[in-house]
């Protein structure tokens, strides 16, 4: 059993982390290191960045999508595969900076043999949620379809919903619906917690939004709470 690769993407015209993302990037790196995953961090930026011994892989500005900046971590995947940054025979956890890993995620637990990608839904709502997903290099064409839609000003989750509804190129045989344990989000927390496999693997929330941190602290590990406190989030 091996830990999966921890993929973090941040491409901005300002060429730096903006607002709370500056802190959250450090939280992500410290969190991964505390889980023994320093060598599994794959940080993608369009600017030089280094923190706690982790350096980013710098990509070109052409990967920025002004129409849908929140979907860049999805639209950039074909480029990362083409450049062999996403390598064959590895699984990459692609997630937002505010999706926090509670426990190690090992490749064997995901059940992705025979699949090219794994996506969660919102749990309480049967809609794809691309805040936390799992990718193999064989998914290149799937993400090319998504990229084209994103650069045409369509949200990545809507784009994925469209191609799975049409079963474009038999996509539904190539992707797996993942348990909500990999994406406990900000709505209907209690319901999602109840239907999730335990232990919970990923919490996804903005700590700066009023009242959210208080709701998620009971679900957080002491290790993650201490990392938050270290960065002034409490």
What is the rounded average pLDDT of the residues 164-185?
96
What is the rounded average pLDDT of the residues 80-107?
97
89: confidence class by pLDDT, cuts 50, 70, 90: very high
The H or E element containing residue 45 is: strand 41-45
Q: Please name each of the domains of the chain with its CATH number.
A: 5-230 (3.90.550.10)
Its pTM surpasses 0.85 = yes
Per the prediction, the chain carries an average pLDDT of 96
169: confidence class by pLDDT, cuts 50, 70, 90: confident
- The gap from C-alpha 64 to its chain's centroid, in whole angstroms, comes to 17
pLDDT score recorded for residue 3: 77
SS3 11: coil
SS3 62: helix
d(CA 133, CA 120): 7
Whether omega before 33 lies within 30 degrees of 0, making that bond cis, reads no
Report CA dihedral (42, 47, 49, 55) to the nearest 10 degrees.
40
The tens digit of pLDDT for each residue in 27-85 reads: 999 999 999 999 999 999 999 999 999 999 999 999 999 999 999 999 999 999 999 99
The 10 Å Cβ neighbour count of residue 145 is 17
d(CA 59, CA 61): 7
d(CA 74, CA 148): 11
Number of H helices, E strands in the chain: 9, 11
What is the rounded average pLDDT of the residues 163-175?
94
Report CA dihedral (189, 195, 199, 203) to the nearest 10 degrees.
-30
């Amino acid at each position: 059993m091996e830990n999966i690769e921890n993929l973090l993407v941040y491409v901005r015209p300002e060429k730096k982390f903006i607002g709370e993302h500056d802190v959250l990037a450090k939280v992500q790196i410290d969190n991964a290191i505390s889980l023994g995953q320093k060598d599994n961090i794959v940080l993608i930026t369009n600017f030089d960045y280094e923190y706690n011994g982790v350096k980013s892989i710098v990509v070109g500005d052409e990967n920025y999508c002004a129409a849908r900046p929140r979907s860049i971590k999805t639209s950039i995947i074909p480029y990362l595969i083409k450049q062999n940054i996403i390598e064959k025979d590895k699984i990459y956890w692609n997630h937002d900076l505010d999706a926090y890993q509670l426990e190690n995620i090992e490749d064997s637990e995901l059940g992705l043999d025979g699949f090219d990608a794994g996506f969660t839904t919102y749990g309480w709502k049967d809609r794809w949620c691309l805040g936390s997903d799992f990718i193999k290099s064989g998914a290149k064409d799937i993400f090319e379809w998504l990229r084209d839609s994103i650069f045409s000003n369509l949200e990545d989750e809507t784009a994925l919903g469209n191609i799975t509804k049409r079963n474009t190129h038999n996509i539904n045989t190539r992707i797996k619906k993942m348990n909500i344990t990999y994406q406990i989000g900000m709505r209907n927390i209690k319901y999602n917690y109840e239907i999730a496999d335990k232990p919970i693997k990923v919490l996804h929330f903005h700590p700066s939004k009023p009242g959210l941190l208080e709701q998620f602290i009971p679900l957080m590990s002491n290790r993650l709470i201490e990392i938050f406190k270290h960065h002034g989030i409490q």
